[in-house]
Chain A
Amino acid sequence: MTQSTTPGVLLEVREASRSFGHVRALDSVSLTIAENEFFALLGPSGCGKTTLLRSIAGFEHPDSGAILLGGRDLLALPPNKRPVNLMFQSYALFPHLSVASNVAYGLKREKLPKAEVTQRVAEVLDTVGLQTMADRRPAQLSGGQRQRVALARAIVKRPRLLLLDEPLSALDRKVRAEMQLELKRLQHEVGITFVVVTHDQEEAMSMADRIAVLAEGRVQQVASPLELYRHPANLFVADFIGTSNLLAGPSDRERLMVRPEDARLVTPGEGTLSGTVLDTQFQGGTSTVAVEVSTLAKPFLVCEPGATAAVRGTEVGLVWDHSVVVGEGLA
């Protein structure tokens, strides 16, 4: 059996499967992740993304399949021997150790000389902007600071791959936006491949180079954010990412998808469809108009720039510049 992989590929998951009783958490999942990529595993809770992440880290074991890192079999190694580090959702900072000791923990396990440990800890705390917090305990830090410590503790090990489990979920909205940018900057700076698990599509879209969308233990689509948005592989991806209007398709098993910003309101009778304005919502930069169409189960949404001129209860026509045919079933 060959272990070699294509050059530039760092991680390869081959037909990994894992069942918990009757639930198939991973159903023959295959993926490749390139060197220096910022990769996201996206899906609703229970889709298998966390099982996949924990399998790479070594805390779960696939029933079958293989996981290779740079061509080497990862599954043969216990978690403490894998050149992979995980940033936990709860951060899992050791409460009885100071910030510096938390960060030094992994380096000490490598039996590095004391001076090198001290130097690398200082460097990484500098990178994440926590040099003044070195002697504090985790309980004395804010949520954002704790996250930086967790990140520093993982990247100081210089792993080939950094796994981040819902890295922003514990933070409030404002800090979250800051940390999105920060994570991207750091990934560039340290040159480590990042794999983020998230259920938040906006988070995945704004940070990742490529995204794998998972549902029911299977990979639905792997693509760049733009590709996912413009050309979703199936109905699930179309619905999960962004907002979509779904119309009858060319065949029974296909639907036609129109994004709200690709549609426009026209005078009644001139459009491809027509309906009655049900509601308008002003969001600042844009407005959303919901139009009730007799042939559709859900209102058709149109996104207009600025404030809309549409009036509730009036008849309107609908046209669009761009539409995509998507398949109904899951992968």
Chain B
Amino acid sequence: MPSRTAGRAAGRAAGRRTGLGWLWLPLGLCALFLYLPILVLVAMSFNGGGSAYRWDGFSFRWYAELARDSDLIEAVVTSLGIATGATAIATVLGTLLAVGLARHTRSKMLEAAAMAPAILPDLVLAIGLLAFFYMAGIPKSALTILLAHAAFGTAFVVAVVRARLAGSDAALEEASRDLGAGGFSTFVLVTLPSIAPAVVAGALLVFTLSLDEFVIAYFTAGPTTETLPITVYAMVRTGVTPEINALATVLVLISVTVVVVAARAVRRTEKS
């Protein structure tokens, strides 16, 4: 009997320590604000009727519609291609740049320069690239978008990998050199394994950013290039249909997956 009372008292004390009191209120309201719009979108995507607002019975018809929309599918393919290319370039250049910055320079100027595309407003980068491609006589196409996305993606990879390197011991690479490994062996055998999770997280980041990026794509796309966000923009401007809701649901699902995978990768980094 007495032990039970003691247990309950301890439980209460622990509850008080972890209790948030009134702080549940902002947390709850903020969650509601962030997720209510998304939940409404998802719910309405199963609407059987033709309105994006009025519920008219459950149906998958808009998902079927989505699967038949060849313009949209083409846009998805274009976007995936751009995201893949941009991710490949940004991951390689960003990783090399991050390691170079961490190990071979103390220049604050270079560090700032490496982060510039991520800090610069996207609109400024977009008009700059538009001007550049115009001046250089490069026709705007999917390739110009790919290059533009690779440029700002590199900055994000630098940021993620740099953070990982800051927490790692530079002595590890010196130890490798000391034990007889050259620069290349050291990079492959010691540096890369220790930053691998950050490189993966950075790559995922660039991939999603590129897939969702609208402003730069809008300015650097050729007249016939339609990326997914450009298509969505056109759809949203012309009207509200349940098909967009279905598309939104799919995109939300993809984002959630990628964020969770990236968060796991980062957590694994922190553990090791």
A81: chain B residues at CB < 8 Å are 180
Q: Is A320 an interface residue (CB 8 A)?
A: no
Beta-carbon contact of B171 and A96 below 8 Å: no
Min Cβ gap A34→B in Å is 23
- Bound CA span A95–B169, Å: 11
Q: Is A22 an interface residue (CB 8 A)?
A: no
| B contact patch SS | helix
Min Cβ gap A164→B in Å is 12
Beta-carbon contact of B194 and A105 below 8 Å: no
Beta-carbon contact of A109 and B174 below 8 Å: no
The listed residue (B169, B172, B181) touching A80 by CB distance below 8 A is B181
B172: chain A residues at CB < 8 Å are 92, 94
Beta-carbon contact of B193 and A96 below 8 Å: yes
Beta-carbon contact of B175 and A88 below 8 Å: yes
Q: Is B179 an interface residue (CB 8 A)?
A: yes
- Bound CA span A153–B171, Å: 14
Q: Is B51 an interface residue (CB 8 A)?
A: no
Number of A residues, CB within 8 Å of B: 26
- Bound CA span A58–B182, Å: 13
Beta-carbon contact of A157 and B194 below 8 Å: no
Interface residues of B in 134-185 (CB under 8 A from A): 169, 171-172, 174-182, 185
Q: Is B190 an interface residue (CB 8 A)?
A: yes
B179: chain A residues at CB < 8 Å are 80, 85, 105-106, 109, 153-154, 157
Beta-carbon contact of B180 and A109 below 8 Å: yes
Min Cβ gap B184→A in Å is 11
Known: A88-B171, A90-B171, A109-B185. A96 touches B178 (CB 8 A): no
Interface residues of A in 84-140 (CB under 8 A from B): 84-86, 88-90, 92-96, 105-106, 109-110, 139
Q: Is B272 an interface residue (CB 8 A)?
A: yes
A84: chain B residues at CB < 8 Å are 178
A92: chain B residues at CB < 8 Å are 169, 171-172, 174-175
B185: chain A residues at CB < 8 Å are 109
Known: A58-B177, A96-B194, A105-B176. A80 touches B171 (CB 8 A): no
Beta-carbon contact of A78 and B180 below 8 Å: no
Closest to A103 in B: B179
Q: Is A79 an interface residue (CB 8 A)?
A: yes
Max chain A Cβ within 10 angstroms of own Cβ: one of B175, B177, B181: B175
- Bound CA span A157–B179, Å: 8
- Bound CA span A322–B66, Å: 99
- Bound CA span A84–B193, Å: 26
Chain B proximity mask over A14-44: 1 for CB below 8 Å, otherwise 0: 0000000000000000000000000000000
Min Cβ gap B177→A in Å is 4
Min Cβ gap A104→B in Å is 10
A57: chain B residues at CB < 8 Å are 174, 178
The listed residue (A59, A90, A95, A106) touching B180 by CB distance below 8 A is A106
- Bound CA span A80–B177, Å: 5
Beta-carbon contact of B178 and A95 below 8 Å: no
- Bound CA span A85–B193, Å: 23
Beta-carbon contact of A86 and B194 below 8 Å: no
- Bound CA span A241–B168, Å: 36
Beta-carbon contact of B180 and A157 below 8 Å: yes
- Bound CA span A71–B120, Å: 56
Min Cβ gap B181→A in Å is 5
- Bound CA span A90–B168, Å: 12
Chain B proximity mask over A221-265: 1 for CB below 8 Å, otherwise 0: 000000000000000000000000000000000000000000000
Min Cβ gap A35→B in Å is 21
Beta-carbon contact of B193 and A88 below 8 Å: no
A157: chain B residues at CB < 8 Å are 179-180
Max chain B Cβ within 10 angstroms of own Cβ: one of A58, A81, A109: A109
Max chain A Cβ within 10 angstroms of own Cβ: one of B174, B179, B182, B272: B179
- Bound CA span A231–B180, Å: 42
Closest to B185 in A: A109
The listed residue (A79, A90, A94) touching B178 by CB distance below 8 A is A79
- Bound CA span A3–B176, Å: 29
- Bound CA span A57–B176, Å: 12
Beta-carbon contact of B180 and A80 below 8 Å: yes
Known: A79-B174, A90-B171, A105-B176. A95 touches B181 (CB 8 A): no
Beta-carbon contact of A85 and B178 below 8 Å: yes
A154: chain B residues at CB < 8 Å are 178-179
B193: chain A residues at CB < 8 Å are 94, 96
Beta-carbon contact of B177 and A90 below 8 Å: no
B169: chain A residues at CB < 8 Å are 90, 92
- Bound CA span A90–B5, Å: 49
Beta-carbon contact of B174 and A88 below 8 Å: yes
Min Cβ gap B221→A in Å is 43
Beta-carbon contact of B177 and A110 below 8 Å: no
Known: A92-B171, A92-B172, A96-B272. A79 touches B194 (CB 8 A): no
- Bound CA span A96–B176, Å: 13
Closest to A79 in B: B177
- Bound CA span A84–B178, Å: 8
Max chain A Cβ within 10 angstroms of own Cβ: one of B178, B185, B190, B193: B178
Question: Closest 8 CB pairs between A and B?
Answer: A106-B179, A109-B180, A92-B175, A92-B171, A79-B177, A96-B193, A88-B171, A80-B177
Residues of B within 8 A of A (CB): 169, 171-172, 174-182, 185, 189-190, 193-194, 272
Q: What are 8 pairs between A and B in contact, CB < 8 Å?
A: A79-B177, A86-B175, A86-B178, A92-B171, A92-B174, A96-B193, A139-B272, A157-B179
